[in-house]
């Protein structure tokens, strides 16, 4: 099946401004690209490379993203062969379909290291919890930082370290990360003290939960750095994109023995491990007799940057019987509007919500899907991205709108509805969920009421409720909140649910990083760290 899949990952450099460059251009001010730059970039050929090289780069120098040359196909027999397999084996076999320049033995060892009991508090790694006959919850927060980002970011450092060896790279890689909350801590923990790596995380000041911030500020490791950015996540993400495209900065750091890569979902090495858990969830439902062979499921995903639900789309395209991908947004509902209308419009108010990891108006991974929906028509995607850069909006073709409607549904949820859903899930099912998962459950009910579709559905639970104690406690009726880490014990006292060990350990950790910078000075922070 996968013998024909050679050099499965390509860097989309945009010979004619391929879609990934469009993503970068959309994040830059309209006047920051000169005519000469545009002409030069239009002349660049598309470049293909082995997976190791692509993972090492993370993002092309002109801002291009990475995408599979082909999406490998799996059949019913492949799924059945994974039903009784451990998660580690499932991960190695699925990733091996894409990473053809890695051996199965390598990937199996990486999976054992990434998802072993010393990292995850659950043997299943990504367990599926049944809520009712047609609703199941995929819990992705049993790792070292209590968020779904661990599923990819415990694997990525190993893929990257191997990539450095395979490509003969002698420089030290500097991982740049923009985070809306969970990616930052997960990346820091994954890359902590990894040889030949440095990692610097930027997060929006006042745009993450207190626990998320404390997790990053207390991070251990000699190769890590953390800095808050004045502004929102889009400001931090735009800033990181500019750092990647800053030729003078790259040259300076090359002289110091460093090069840039990324741990955000713009790196294909982030997306790939996330495909695994959708395949795994389907296998678990088969194993438990919740569905029969070949039965379709729906998947409901709370998402802001579109990476998590994009991974589900890839799983669907590989052959997993997923009928509908339900995109759940909070009040920053740019994705909901896009899926429902075909118009992407970031010209709107930005809201800080109680589900901060979804407080995003520029969804980087959307361009990967547009590339597929336009039948890999880089000119069409180029036009959309130029419109987004110039006007803050674009409208896709009727052909793309039909594809959106075929694959996706969407809905949104405000903070009051989020808290009501947390309370309802606790009252009706004695199931404690976080704010992002609550958004997904609310949107699923919206979808079912509107469509009558009772297809068995997997709701993706992206974080432990203990990462958002204040909002969860408020939803459960608490009026006076304990300050600091004591709020973790307050939630336990109210619900009887134990504090995850990694979060409980925060009580004894000292703050190491409290620096704040303007977005215009992010390059200075990088240079300070990489002296």
Q: What residues are annotated to the active site?
A: 149
**DSSP state for residue 420 in the 8-state scheme:** H
CA angle 106/90/269 to nearest 5° reads: 60
> Nearest-CA neighbor of 104 among 113, 115, 95?
95
- ∠ CA 298-303-309, rounded to 5°: 45
Q: How many CB atoms lie within 10 A of CB 35?
A: 7
The sign of the torsion formed by the CA atoms of 15, 17, 18, 20 equals: positive
In three-state secondary structure terms, 106 is helix
For residue 204, the cross-strand partners are 229
Q: Which residue has the tokens 């995003």?
A: 360
Ramachandran category for residue 27: left, alpha or beta (phi over 0 → left; psi -120 to 50 → alpha): alpha
Q: How far is 151 from 273, CA to CA, in rounded Å?
A: 7
Place of tokens 């996706």: 408
DSSP 432-466: ---HHHHHHHHHHHHHHHHH-----EEEEE-B-GG
Dihedral sign (CA 160, 162, 166, 171) = positive
Please count the other Cβ atoms lying within 10 Å of the Cβ belonging to residue 515.
11
Q: How far apart are CA 466 and CA 460, in angstroms?
A: 17
Q: Measured between alpha carbons, how far is residue 529 from residues 82, 175, 199 in Å?
A: 44, 12, 9
How far is 395 from 383, CA to CA, in rounded Å?
10
User: Phi and psi for 153 in degrees, rounded to 5?
Assistant: -85, -5
Strand (E) or helix (H) holding 135: strand 135-139
- The C-alpha atoms of residue 19 and residue 15 are separated, in whole angstroms, by 10
Comparing CA positions, the residue from 494, 492, 512, 514 lying closest to residue 503 is 492
| Count of CB atoms situated within 10 Å of the CB of 200 | 24
Task: Count Cα neighbours of 472 within 13 Å in the Cβ-side half-sphere.
Answer: 29
Residue written as tokens 């009421």? 449
- What whole-number distance in Å separates Cα of residue 193 and Cα of residue 479? 41
* Token pair of 153 as six digits: 């970011």
Closest CA to 461 of 426, 434, 492, 479: 434
């Amino acid at each position: 099946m996968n013998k024909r899949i050679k050099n499965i990952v390509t860097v989309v450099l945009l010979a004619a401004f391929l879609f990934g460059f469009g993503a970068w251009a959309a994040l830059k001010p309209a006047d920051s690209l000169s005519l000469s730059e545009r002409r030069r970039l239009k002349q660049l050929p598309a470049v293909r490379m082995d997976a190791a090289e692509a993972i090492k780069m993370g993002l092309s120098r002109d801002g291009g993203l990475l995408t599979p040359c082909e999406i490998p196909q799996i059949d019913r027999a492949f799924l059945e062969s994974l039903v009784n397999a451990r998660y580690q084996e499932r991960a190695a076999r699925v990733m091996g379909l894409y990473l053809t320049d890695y051996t199965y033995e390598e990937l199996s060892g990486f999976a054992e290291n990434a998802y072993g009991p010393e990292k995850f508090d659950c043997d299943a790694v990504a367990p599926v919890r049944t809520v009712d006959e047609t609703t199941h919850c995929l819990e992705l927060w049993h790792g070292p930082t209590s968020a779904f980002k661990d599923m990819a970011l415990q694997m990525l450092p190993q893929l990257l370290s191997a990539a450095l060896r395979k490509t003969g790279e002698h420089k030290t890689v500097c991982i740049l990360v923009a985070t809306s909350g969970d990616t930052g801590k997960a990346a820091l923990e994954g890359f902590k003290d990894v040889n030949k790596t440095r990692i610097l995380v930027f997060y929006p000041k006042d745009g993450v939960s207190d626990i998320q911030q404390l997790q990053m500020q207390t991070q251990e490791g000699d190769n890590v750095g953390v800095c808050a950015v004045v502004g929102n996540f889009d400001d931090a993400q735009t800033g990181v994109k500019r750092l990647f495209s800053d030729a003078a900065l790259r040259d300076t750091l090359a002289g110091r023995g460093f090069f840039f890569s990324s741990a955000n979902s713009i790196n294909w090495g982030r997306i790939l491990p996330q495909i695994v858990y959708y395949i795994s969830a389907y296998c678990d439902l088969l194993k438990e007799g919740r569905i029969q062979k070949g039965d379709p499921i729906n998947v409901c995903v709370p998402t802001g940057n579109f990476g998590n639900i994009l991974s589900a789309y890839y799983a669907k395209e590989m052959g997993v019987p997923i009928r509908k991908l339900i995109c759940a947004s909070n009040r920053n509902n740019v994705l909901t509007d896009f899926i429902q209308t075909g118009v992407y419009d970031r010209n709107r108010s930005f809201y800080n919500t109680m589900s901060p990891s979804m407080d995003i108006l520029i969804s980087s991974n959307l361009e990967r899907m547009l590339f597929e929906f336009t039948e890999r028509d880089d000119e069409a995607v180029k036009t959309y991205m130029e419109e987004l850069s110039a006007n803050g909006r674009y409208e896709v073709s009727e052909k793309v709108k039909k594809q959106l409607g075929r694959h996706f549904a969407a809905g949104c949820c405000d903070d009051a509805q989020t808290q009501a859903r947390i309370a309802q899930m606790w009252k009706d099912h004695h199931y404690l969920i976080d704010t992002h998962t609550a958004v997904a459950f609310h949107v699923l009910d919206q979808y079912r009421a509107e469509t009558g579709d009772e297809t068995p559905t997997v709701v993706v639970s992206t974080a432990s409720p203990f990462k958002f104690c204040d909002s969860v406690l408020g939803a459960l009726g608490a009026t006076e909140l304990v300050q600091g880490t004591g709020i973790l014990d307050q939630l336990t006292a109210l619900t009887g649910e134990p504090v995850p060990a990694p979060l409980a350990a925060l009580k004894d950790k000292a703050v190491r990083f409290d620096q704040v910078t303007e977005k215009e000075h992010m390059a200075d922070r990088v240079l300070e760290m990489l002296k």
